Amino acid sequence: MLFTATAFSQEDTLFSKTLTELVVTATRTERKLSNVAVPVQIISKKAIAQSGSVRLNDILSEQTGLYITSGGATSSAGGGVFGNGVQLQGLSPDYTLILLDGEPIIGRQGGVIDLSRLSVGNIKKIEIVKGPSSSLYGSEAMGGVVNIISEQAQLNKLDASFRYGRFNATDANITAAIKKQKWGLQLFGNRNSSEGFDLDKTVPGKTIDPYGSYTTQARFNFYPTQKTKISLSGRYYNEKQDNYFLTQDIGTGNTIAITGNGRVKDMNLNPVITQQFNNDLRSSMRFYFSRYEYEQTLVKDADKSSYYHDFFQQDFYRAENQTDINLPAGNFLSIGAGLVAEKLNTTRYAGKRSNDIRYAFIQNEWKANEQFTLIGGLRYDDNSAYQSRLSPKLAGQFKINDKLRINASYGAGFKAPDFRQLFLNFLNTAAGGYVVYGANEINISELEAQKQQGILSDILPRAYQLALLKPEISKGVNAGAQYDVNDKLNVGVNFFRNDIDNLIQVDVIAFRNNAAAVYSYFNVKKAYTQGAEFNASYKLSNSFHIQSGYQFLLTADKSDIKRIKEGDVFARDLQTGEAYRVSRSDYAGLPNRSKHMVNTKLFYDNEKKGWSASLRVIYKSRWGTYDKDGNGLINREDEFAKGSTLININAAKTINAFRLQAGVDNLFDYKDEINLPGQPGIQPYVSVNYSFIKNKNNK
């Protein structure tokens, strides 16, 4: 995997070796990256600064194998149907667990966490674990885990930064840290705003509405003894978006203007107590509370009468203990258990919903010798709303020598249909009037009745396959190697395969009379995602460093493959109208996946002269959208979105305590108004950062 080596003075509690890079997420314990047996990628604080990114989706979009889904026609608060979520190994954002300092970020809109809610200004590093991780983290980690690790007070310092870009986009940060012998306090504040943008001038209103957001974050660490650590962290996020659009009044048929706003509030509190009893025994008790709230109020502009109101509130409570034990014969055991209580109160469902989960996990890491490590884990989830499930995992690493490592892992995951997929009944007039139905809330008879009433203009063939949803089950395999050729060149490869039974997909089932889409959820009886990732990192000189990554991805509904092989699928040529039999090469697989994704990044860093720069190229091949010709799969040319190449550049100069940076994202102004409404085109920006550090030798 690609990473920047950084020196640490800490030691691995299991292997007692000096660390070059700590990884926490893969095993829930601190481990050397070279000792981790599953695919892990690390994004360092320095890499984030060099990229000029200000939101989480910006930096993740440049990483190998990470596909960022585009938001719909709302600001980051609404997130559209899909939101700015992240796919891992071809599995949708529903199955990627997003953590902040090891605790889950809640508030999924359309099944995903909108990554643009999260600022990168206070991030120490980001750890990405690819492949099934349910044995440690539960059902939402079927595809993998993204863990955002925030800064802790290490020095007495003050940082401030400001960035200005196109569309009056601003991002301002301030960070203050106080470090004493037995305690440390880190404070962070961020303001992010934009006037929005409009990709279609023929339609009144903006594609992305104006918005402004504020983030405050604090982390306090207290060390009453050398073996005891008490930590308390909290975060509060508040966003407001301004809405304006034209629509047709249902009563009069006249065109009317709608105005209003949407608000997002996201808060969490996380106390943790860790006790190191001796060299062989450590235990942590974690408590976590989080609330996500979204409210949208729209009125008719002429008389200010009520037009639409949407309210969504989710509460999440968790208590968890984890105990780590060094055992004889090279064994390291982690055991844990916890309780989760979730509550939902929303206008999108009929009544309030709640769910309780009790879980326990165990993992043993056996270091047979200096070359071979084997990790086995098992988690049990007792879900009050759905059936219980066991999630196992087995991973191994073999070090052939100091330069070459081989890893392999197997994991299984489970995900029951969530409340949204079952009971959602949501009309979003703020985003063009699209509708999303849970599978229990709609059927073909109701759709046909709506068409007769003039609500719908067209019912798609997919609607005739509506049925009650079943739980999803996944099995995933990863195998790869990492080769440190020399001090300058590092290469890695990882092959993966995920088999999913009853995969749940969102799809278009109809169109309303205003051309807005109607969505619902389906089980794809059996599906798979498989492919390979290649990464390379080469140090050209003391100042120049190049990284490159490539993912090859194949996905499919296995029943579609069977139909194609049996010759039962036909389509019509767009030019001639002639029917032809669909071949395997015509088939796009599951929607919203690119077969080829490539990134190449060139970094320049001259600390003596204070200059740094970067050039990053990100390519994604074409990807399937939805079935238009009624044969049940994506195969025709007009069912694909075109591929894209984004080029991002910047340069920075450090002068004493100031760092000045200028750059351009999407240099050649790539846009796709229909399939990527969240992509505004070329985005030039300038930024300035001030950093003051007092007592640099303070520990």
- DSSP string of 415-429? E---HHHHH-EEEEG
End-to-end CA distance of the chain: 31
605: its two tokens: 């860093």
Which residues lie closer than 8 Å to 463 by C-beta, 6 or more apart? 444, 447, 509, 510, 520
Locus of tokens 């395969």: 497
pLDDT value for 662? 97
Smallest Cα–Cα separation from 375: which of 415, 336, 322, 411? Answer: 411
Which residues lie closer than 8 Å to 575 by C-beta, 6 or more apart? none
* H-run or E-run covering 126: strand 123-130
C-alpha angle 468/70/165, rounded to 5°? 155
CA gyration radius, the chain: 25
298: its two tokens: 């729209």
Query: Residue 645 in contact with residue 617, Cβ under 8 Å?
Result: yes
Q: Please tell me the total number of residues recorded for the chain in this structure.
A: 699
pLDDT value for 254? 83
pTM score, two decimals? 0.88
Query: Residue 502 in contact with residue 523, Cβ under 8 Å?
Result: yes
pLDDT value for 389? 85
Residue pLDDT, tens place only, 461-474: 999 999 888 878 88
Which residues lie closer than 8 Å to 232 by C-beta, 6 or more apart? 219, 220, 269, 270, 271, 272
* H-run or E-run covering 272: strand 255-278
Region 245-266 average pLDDT: 85
Please indicate whether residue 699 or residue 449 has the higher confidence score (pLDDT): 449
Smallest Cα–Cα separation from 394: which of 362, 371, 369, 370? Answer: 362
One-letter amino acid for residue 28 of the chain: R
- Burial level of 688, CB count in 10 A (0-12/13-18/19+)? middle
pLDDT score of 234 more than 70: yes
Region 371-377 average pLDDT: 94
Confidence category of residue 430, pLDDT binned at 50, 70, 90: low
Percent of the chain with pLDDT over 70: 93
Confidence category of residue 4, pLDDT binned at 50, 70, 90: very low
Residue pLDDT, tens place only, 8-58: 223 333 333 333 577 888 888 877 777 788 888 999 999 999 999 999 999
Percent of the chain with pLDDT over 90: 61
Helix (H, G, I), strand (E, B) or coil at 309: strand
Smallest Cα–Cα separation from 391: which of 380, 405, 402, 403? Answer: 380
pLDDT value for 251? 67
pLDDT score of 500 more than 80: yes
pLDDT score of 109 more than 90: no
Which residues lie closer than 8 Å to 311 by C-beta, 6 or more apart? 294, 295, 296, 345, 346, 347
Query: Residue 375 in contact with residue 396, Cβ under 8 Å?
Result: yes
pLDDT value for 7? 30
Architecture per CATH, 22-694: Beta Barrel (2.40)
- What is the Cα–Cα distance from 511 to 513, expressed in whole angstroms? 7
What backbone phi and psi angles, to 5 degrees, belong to 64? Answer: -65, 130
Locus of tokens 């902040």: 100
Smallest Cα–Cα separation from 451: which of 511, 507, 495? Answer: 511
Confidence category of residue 688, pLDDT binned at 50, 70, 90: very high
Query: Residue 648 in contact with residue 683, Cβ under 8 Å?
Result: no
pLDDT score of 626 more than 50: yes
Which residues lie closer than 8 Å to 677 by C-beta, 6 or more apart? 70, 71, 72, 73, 80, 199, 207, 208
448: its two tokens: 């046909």
Residue pLDDT, tens place only, 301-349: 888 999 888 899 999 999 999 999 999 999 999 999 999 999 989 887 7
pLDDT value for 80? 35
* H-run or E-run covering 149: strand 144-150
How far is C-alpha 679 from the geometric centre of its chain's CA atoms?
A: 17
Confidence category of residue 431, pLDDT binned at 50, 70, 90: low
Q: Is 19 left (phi over 0), alpha (psi -120 to 50) or beta?
A: beta
* H-run or E-run covering 46: helix 45-51
One-letter amino acid for residue 222 of the chain: F
pLDDT score of 350 more than 80: no
Helix (H, G, I), strand (E, B) or coil at 310: strand
- What is the Cα–Cα distance from 272 to 270, expressed in whole angstroms? 7
Q: Where are the domains of the chain?
A: 22-694
- Burial level of 350, CB count in 10 A (0-12/13-18/19+)? exposed
Q: Is 46 left (phi over 0), alpha (psi -120 to 50) or beta?
A: alpha
Q: How many Cβ atoms from other residues are within 10 Å of residue 565's Cβ?
A: 11
One-letter-per-residue 3-state SS of 55-123: EHHHHHCCCCCEEECCCCCCCCCCCCCCCCCEEECCECHHHEEEEECCEECCCCECCECCHHHCECCCE
- DSSP string of 207-239? SB--EEEEEEEEEEEEEEETTEEEEEEEEEEEE
Alpha helices in 221-359 (DSSP H): none
- What is the Cα–Cα distance from 259 to 263, expressed in whole angstroms? 14
Confidence category of residue 695, pLDDT binned at 50, 70, 90: low
48: its two tokens: 């984030």
131: its two tokens: 């492949």
pLDDT score of 1 more than 80: no
629: its two tokens: 């010709």
Query: Residue 554 in contact with residue 529, Cβ under 8 Å?
Result: yes
Please indicate whether residue 380 or residue 427 has the higher confidence score (pLDDT): 380
Region 556-568 average pLDDT: 91
- What is the Cα–Cα distance from 218 to 215, expressed in whole angstroms? 10
Torsion of CA 95, 98, 103, 109, to 10 degrees: -80
Spell out a b/e string for 428-451, using b for 16 or more CB atoms within 10 Å of the CB, else e. bbbbbbbbbbbbebbbeeebeebe
* H-run or E-run covering 48: helix 45-51
One-letter amino acid for residue 164 of the chain: Y
23: its two tokens: 């990884």
How far is C-alpha 453 from the geometric centre of its chain's CA atoms?
A: 40
Q: What is the mean pLDDT of the chain?
A: 88
pLDDT value for 677? 83
Region 379-405 average pLDDT: 89
142: its two tokens: 């079927």
Task: Enter the DSSP assignment of 138.
Answer: -
Confidence category of residue 2, pLDDT binned at 50, 70, 90: very low
